[in-house]
Amino acid sequence: MLPDDGEWHGFRADVDDTSLFFRVKPSPGDYDVCCRAYKKDWLDDHMQKAEKGIRFIDSNYNDRFTIPDGGKIRISFVFELFHGFYLPSVSPDCLNF
């Protein structure tokens, strides 16, 4: 079962050097399946590093803040103009654990 959603289910299948992630929604009238493939050793390495926390960095790769694996953040929709693009503003003040 995927977090915070009673309708979606997910599982992982490892085949040789590939990991397949399936997300399914077996609701009558709305059967939905998503499959993503990852290189198994890269994914395992990433998942092991994620256990130490997820880093948020700025455009110069400086750490802004870190949240624990499985933690949540709240993104405010205050937009700033940056080189012609509008970007959402993310702040550690908006952390929601």
Assign 52 a pLDDT band (cuts: 50, 70, 90). Answer: confident
- pTM, entire model: 0.52
pLDDT given at position 7: 75
Q: 59 with 42, same domain?
A: no
Q: 10 with 41, same domain?
A: yes
pLDDT in tens, 56-95: 888 888 888 888 887 887 776 655 555 555 555 554 444 4
Q: 32 with 69, same domain?
A: no
Count the domains in the chain.
Answer: 2
pLDDT given at position 97: 39
Q: 46 with 17, same domain?
A: yes
Q: 23 with 39, same domain?
A: yes
Structural domain including 46 reads: 1-50
Is 24 within 8 Å of 10 (Cβ atoms)?
A: yes
Q: 80 with 94, same domain?
A: yes
Alpha carbon 3 to its chain's center: 12
Q: 34 with 64, same domain?
A: no
